[in-house]
Amino acid sequence: MMVTAMKLIPFLRDPCEIPKEVYLTVTEPDRELPPTNIPLPLAGAQHDEPTDPKKGHVYNLRNHIEVVEDLSFI
């Protein structure tokens, strides 16, 4: 059994605005393109045009809030 945890830190003025449920969509990764000798800031995004809808999974997450901190003094 594999258990995975994710930590989400929302920053809102009113903690009541934090949704009780959210959806997380995880899609299959794009095909990795061959490396280039161009520096990343100059190369920009290099991806193939999508040909079909991407496959993936949608998870319904129920939020559990452990701590509410008042950071208004910052």
The per-residue pLDDT for range 41-62, each reduced to its tens digit, is 666 666 667 777 888 889 888 8
Q: Is pLDDT of 8 > 70?
A: no
Strand partners, 21: 62
Residue 32 CB: number of other CB atoms within 10 A?
A: 7
Q: Is pLDDT of 63 > 70?
A: yes
Strand partners, 19: none
Mean pLDDT of the chain: 75
Mean pLDDT, to the nearest integer, of 18-29? 84
